Amino acid sequence: MGDLKSPRLMYAKALLLAIAGMMAVAGILIEAPSWRIAAFLAIAVWAFSRVYYFMFYVIERWIDPRFRFAGVWAAARYMMKQRK
């Protein structure tokens, strides 16, 4: 499968991912309705999005501009190699 190049399709993909995320959160809150669970979900979403930002923006822009990551696993492998 080739790279997605159409901006219209990229926006559609982002919208579908946002809808899927909201449905997952709604499903969890329906199963276990509490403010505590809602807070944990909000913190988890925020924290994982910050990690994603770090992996694909901070590393490429400020730490090592030579690397372009293809995905989360490529970024994780890069970080593991840097520890050695």
d(CA 59, CA 75): 9
Domain identity same for 40 and 72 = yes
Residue 77: per-residue pLDDT: 84
pLDDT at position 22 over 80: yes
Query: What's the domain range around 39?
Result: 34-84
Domain identity same for 57 and 82 = yes
Q: Work out how many domains the chain is built from and give that number.
A: 2
Residue 1: per-residue pLDDT: 64
Domain identity same for 23 and 54 = no
16 to 10, 19, 22, 23, 29: CA distances (angstroms): 10, 5, 10, 10, 20
Domain identity same for 43 and 84 = yes
pLDDT at position 45 over 90: yes
Confidence of residue 78 (pLDDT cuts 50, 70, 90): confident
Nearest to 50 by CA among 58, 41, 40: 58
Domain identity same for 51 and 65 = yes
User: CB of 4 within 8 A of CB of 13?
Assistant: yes
